């Protein structure tokens, strides 16, 4: 656009004090309005009227002057006439829309006012992005209503933008937290090599049982994720206990029984993983209420945790451990059946046995075992 000498704008600004009838929803950043009209009487009338509503108002006699003011003005709204010497109001509108695009949508809105009303001008104004269109003479009540509606729309847009920004920040924070969790999982693997495959297998078994029981895909995904994280709390268990090749002492059991709480506490602050906290905390609870850490029983144990518990025991019994080799499939099934109604919810035992019959459980676990097998006499409670 060719730069022109700016005509000194006629400016009438308020002293910033709220006046009677002021639009209270206007914020500090949405208080400034620019009026553009070549008729001094219209500029004065609109300036006085809008100032009484509590706005800071500046005015310009033509589009070129307006564009100069827009460089520093910080206006949220431009009210412009259409027919003016030099650039028309519609051309000014297009210039403002280009500025707004450069500002990622943060420019002023535009209301078109014209003394030569007609459908063509109205359609063209709206097509170019005007917020609204008024034909002279217009009602001040209608203008007040339109400005209030515009402020409300801008407030909603601002809140939506703030919410989006907050979500982006939370996702970034969550991603950092998930990276920290992955680092902790690796640290657990380093402490206890058995845990690496165990957590992944428990996730797989739990997901299969959940799907077989008709749980939706979100729960199936949760079961898998909870399984792959369920022993993350073992980061707080001494290596000597985790890898002890003989039975644990009572105090060592007290230490290892803290790991569901430690695990849940690690995961709790991460919103993306908050749904797996409870299954992780409750994966050692028992149907008869004799488990740990909270000794809850029956349906007080969340269902996903009940499924996780049977998957955990199934893999722990079948896999080689530091203190014994994996048990035969038949022995594992006998132990699980013996725990029906005691350690495990009966319907979940039935679901697991169904899957065993279908070859869905033990065949994928073979890699967790060595060739050497042992007798039941070496069995003690898995952890």
Of 313, 307, 287, nearest in space to 222 by CA: 307
Nearest to Fe ion of 75, 292 (CB atom) = 292
The three-state DSSP-derived secondary structure of 143-156 is HHHHHHHHHHHHHH
| Cα(96)–Cα(76) distance, integer angstroms | 11
Residue with tokens 């949508």: 105
Nearest to Fe ion of 258, 353 (CB atom) = 258
x-marked contacts with Fe ion along 81-120 as a string, rule CB under 5 A: ----------------------------------------
Q: What is the nearest approach in angstroms of Fe ion to the Cβ of residue 312?
A: 6
Per rule CB under 5 A, is residue 30 in the interface with Fe ion? no
Q: What is the nearest approach in angstroms of Fe ion to the Cβ of residue 172?
A: 31
Q: What is the nearest approach in angstroms of Fe ion to the Cβ of residue 260?
A: 6
List the interface residues with Fe ion, window 221-280 (CB under 5 A): 231
DSSP tag of 76: S
Q: Strand, coil or helix: what is 93? A: helix
Nearest to Fe ion of 50, 307 (CB atom) = 307
Q: What is the nearest approach in angstroms of Fe ion to the Cβ of residue 340?
A: 20
Q: Which residue is nearest to Fe ion (CB)?
A: 231
Other beta carbons within 10 angstroms of residue 281's beta carbon come to 23
Kindly provide the residue ranges of all beta strands, DSSP E only, lying in the chain, ordered along the sequence: 32-36, 56-60, 77-81, 109-114, 132-135
Nearest to Fe ion of 36, 262 (CB atom) = 262
Dig out the tokens for 173 from the structure: 């924070």
Q: For the chain, how many helices (H) and strands (E)?
A: 14, 5
Nearest to Fe ion of 113, 317 (CB atom) = 317
Nearest to Fe ion of 43, 284 (CB atom) = 284
Nearest to Fe ion of 37, 231 (CB atom) = 231
Mode of pairing for the β-strands spanning 77-81 and 132-135: unpaired
Nearest to Fe ion of 109, 231 (CB atom) = 231
Contacts of 200 (CB under 8 A, 6+ apart): 227, 228
Of 125, 134, 120, 57, nearest in space to 92 by CA: 125
Task: Give the torsion through C-alpha atoms of 11, 17, 21, 24, to 10 deg.
Answer: 110
| Cα(380)–Cα(383) distance, integer angstroms | 9
Contacts of 11 (CB under 8 A, 6+ apart): 58, 59
Binding residue count for Fe ion, defined by CB under 5 A: 1
Of 118, 111, 115, 105, nearest in space to 92 by CA: 111
Q: What is the nearest approach in angstroms of Fe ion to the Cβ of residue 272?
A: 22
| Cα(209)–Cα(352) distance, integer angstroms | 6
Nearest to Fe ion of 231, 315 (CB atom) = 231
**Which residues sit at the interface with Fe ion, rule CB under 5 A?**
231
């Amino acid at each position: 656009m060719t730069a022109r000498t700016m005509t000194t704008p006629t400016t009438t600004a308020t002293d910033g004090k709220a006046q009677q009838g002021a639009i209270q929803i206007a914020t500090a950043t949405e208080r400034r309005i620019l009026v553009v009209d070549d008729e001094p009487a219209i500029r004065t009338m609109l300036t006085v009227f809008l100032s009484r509503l509590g706005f800071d108002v500046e005015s310009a006699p033509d589009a070129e002057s307006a564009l100069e003011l827009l460089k520093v003005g910080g206006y949220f709204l431009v009210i412009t006439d259409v027919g003016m010497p030099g650039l028309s109001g519609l051309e000014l509108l297009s210039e403002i829309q280009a500025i707004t695009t450069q500002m990622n949508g943060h420019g002023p809105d535009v209301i078109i006012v014209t003394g030569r009303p007609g459908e063509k001008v109205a359609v063209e104004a709206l097509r170019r992005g005007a917020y609204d269109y008024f034909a002279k003479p217009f009602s001040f009540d209608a203008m007040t209503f339109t400005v209030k509606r515009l402020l409300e729309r801008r407030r909603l847009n601002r809140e939506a933008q703030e919410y989006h920004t907050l979500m982006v920040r939370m996702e970034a924070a969550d991603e950092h937290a998930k990276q920290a969790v992955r680092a902790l999982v690796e640290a657990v693997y380093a402490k206890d090599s058995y845990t690496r495959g165990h957590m992944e297998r428990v996730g797989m078994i739990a997901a299969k049982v959940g799907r077989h029981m008709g749980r939706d895909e979100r729960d199936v995904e949760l079961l898998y994720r909870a399984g792959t994280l369920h022993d993350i709390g073992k980061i707080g268990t001494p290596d000597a206990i985790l890898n002890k090749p003989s039975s644990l002492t009572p105090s060592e059991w007290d230490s290892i029984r803290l790991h569901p709480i430690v695990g849940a506490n690690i995961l709790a602050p991460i919103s993306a993983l908050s749904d797996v906290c409870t299954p992780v905390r409750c994966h050692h609870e028992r149907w008869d209420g004799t488990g740990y850490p909270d000794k809850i029983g029956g349906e007080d144990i969340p269902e996903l945790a009940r499924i996780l518990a049977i998957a955990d025991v199934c893999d722990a019994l079948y896999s080689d451990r530091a203190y014994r080799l994996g048990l035969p499939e038949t022995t594992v099934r006998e132990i699980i059946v013996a725990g029906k109604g005691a350690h495990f919810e009966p319907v979940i035992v039935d679901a697991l046995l169904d899957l065993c019959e279908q070859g869905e459980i033990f065949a994928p676990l073979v890699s967790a075992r060595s060739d050497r097998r042992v007798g039941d006499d070496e069995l003690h409670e898995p952890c």
